[in-house]
A and B are shown apart, each in its own frame.
Chain A
């Protein structure tokens, strides 16, 4: 006698829950609506075509994409290690991986300066050995974005790896596949949706990165001034431009959200 849930029996939702829920929704939606209402629609096309806007947008897209690629190359193996190898102190490693997630990005930027800056522990050596300097360069933007965004990828991919049925990997092993072949031909295809979702989250986080970028890479037009930096700067001088830049970022976010809708927004 399985009781099918009856909507009428459930009664009306209690107002103690409904009122805060609606307030919460309004709180999340109203600022975005404000952005749309106050947007200078008539001058929008002209503003979008301004070289500074295009430059910042291009820089943001390029750096976020490279940062995501870096995160994939380093983060997927890291997630695999966390999910598949019996490391001593694995819990500690996992905790360390998630630190940039909760760390204020500005602090991350300061930390990056101390290590990769010109007088930093590794930065010093990088400059003397290879003549490479990272701070206040486009490469520095990528470093700052990757630092902040990588935990999103690692956590997402590790979760996918843990959820994947490991017996497929065993089946592959009995067929003669080495661990690398197993990873390449079985594990990775099986967790591809998780990697994809992680990469998109990672890319979105990198695109919105502000604190670590401005601290570590500075704010130079054309080389390190990404969209979020441009928005912040424009707000002080030209609020209308800030709105336009914000709209662009909002549009990009919404497109990502729409792309991820099936995986993240709908409940399982």
Chain B
């Protein structure tokens, strides 16, 4: 393990307590809502926020006893924080200079890194002359210039517009793949996390609620927050063989589960009927329409009732069904479209 940490930070009305292990070359994303403590965790790793307890070990050596400027850590800040009075080159050369390189040596390192991120032509530009995407790459080069063993990225793509984001995301992915140390990145965007990370750690209210490979987390969400992120309806219930009881409803599932269990299904898997359908399909319930909104090319219907659910239907279906908020409606989901797993 390159990084082995238990981060405890006590604040009035907030406690962060998470354990982290990151292997060399591995990219771990801390994913969570605003205020979950992700950035606090990152700052604690960098030494910018003091730990109230726990430890940080990098390559077997304690890190938490050292001040920020003596940790082999590179950090990319959310809005990059490039020094406005220095050129792109001098921003990148700043770290090597501080770590004892001569001026010309530091500049050589910086020039090579700017070349690597494709910004050799902008070496003399001041940060305010750089676009968001360019500034992001300079910030990455600056963090890598100190040859860190641990790379920290705080919302690396949050400050970019949608178009640049796509391009920078794939570039960042390449650079992270080339980096052989441990990487911890913080994001509230599931797509960034899925694309960039080898492993996701979902943090809510200062604690880890779920972790695993991106595909695993996306398939088997364990909290409402994660379910919303990956776009699934999620319920916690009690399994008794082929059925999972959720409140007064019982979902028939393919999986045979006993005891506490989750059942998840996609909003697109739900069918809506104005009248009770014939042949009484399984997993049928009567709901009240809580709201209707556009969702991409489709329409998302919010259902209230025995369970709250999102349903995605086509605009044509919306017209056919003639739905209005407050209306009562029948909803059903096939057992084959549900996915159940132990809680």
Contacts and interface: CB of A to CB of B under 8 A. Distances in A.
Contact of B69 (A177, A189, A192): A177
A167 interface: yes
B5 interface: no
B99 interface: yes
B163 interface: no
A173 B75 CA distance: 10
B206 interface: no
Contacts of A171: 75, 77, 81, 83
Interface in B306-335: none
Interface residues of A, number: 19
B305 interface: no
Nearest to A167: B81
A168 B68 contact: no
Interface string B46-61: 1110000000000000
Nearest to B75: A174
Interface string B172-207: 000000000000000000000000000000000000
A174 B48 contact: yes
Interface in B79-136: 81, 83-85, 94-95, 98-99
Contacts of A192: 85
A176 interface: yes
B36 interface: no
B237 interface: no
A170 B48 contact: yes
A179 B70 CA distance: 12
Interface string A166-184: 0110111111111101000
Residue with the highest number of chain A CB atoms closer than 10 Å, among B67, B81, B143, B146: B81
Nearest to B78: A167
Given A170-B48, A170-B68, A175 B95 contact: yes
B154 to A, nearest CB: 10
A176 B95 contact: yes
Nearest to A168: B81
Give chain B's interface residue range (CB within 8 Å of chain A). 20 to 34
B3 interface: no
B245 interface: no
Per DSSP, chain A at the interface is helix
Given A170-B48, A172-B94, A177-B94, A186 B73 contact: no
Contacts of B214: none
Contacts of A247: none
A173 B85 contact: no
Contacts of B146: 175-176
Nearest to A165: B81
A185 B98 CA distance: 10
A190 interface: yes
Nearest to A185: B94
Contacts of A189: 83, 85
B239 interface: no
B126 to A, nearest CB: 12
Nearest to A170: B48
A145 to B, nearest CB: 31
Contact of A168 (B83, B95, B143): B83
B142 interface: yes
B98 A181 contact: yes
A170 B143 CA distance: 13
A178 B94 contact: no
B74 interface: yes
Interface in A104-148: none
A177 B142 CA distance: 13
A196 to B, nearest CB: 14
Nearest to B98: A176
Given A167-B77, A177-B69, A178-B69, A172 B48 contact: no
A176 B69 contact: yes
Contact of A173 (B68, B84, B142, B143): B68
Nearest to B100: A176
B196 to A, nearest CB: 20
Contacts of A177: 69, 94, 98
Nearest to A178: B69
A29 B94 CA distance: 51
Contacts of A178: 69, 98
Contact of B83 (A172, A174, A181): A172
Given A181-B98, A185-B94, A174 B74 contact: yes
Given A167-B81, A171-B77, A176 B70 contact: yes
Contacts of B77: 167, 170-171
Contact of A175 (B48, B84, B85, B142): B142
Given A172-B98, A178-B98, A190-B85, 8 more contacts: A168-B83, A170-B77, A172-B83, A174-B47, A175-B145, A175-B146, A176-B70, A189-B85
6 contacts: A167-B77, A171-B75, A176-B70, A176-B99, A178-B69, A179-B69
Closest 3 CB pairs of A and B: A175-B95, A176-B98, A171-B81
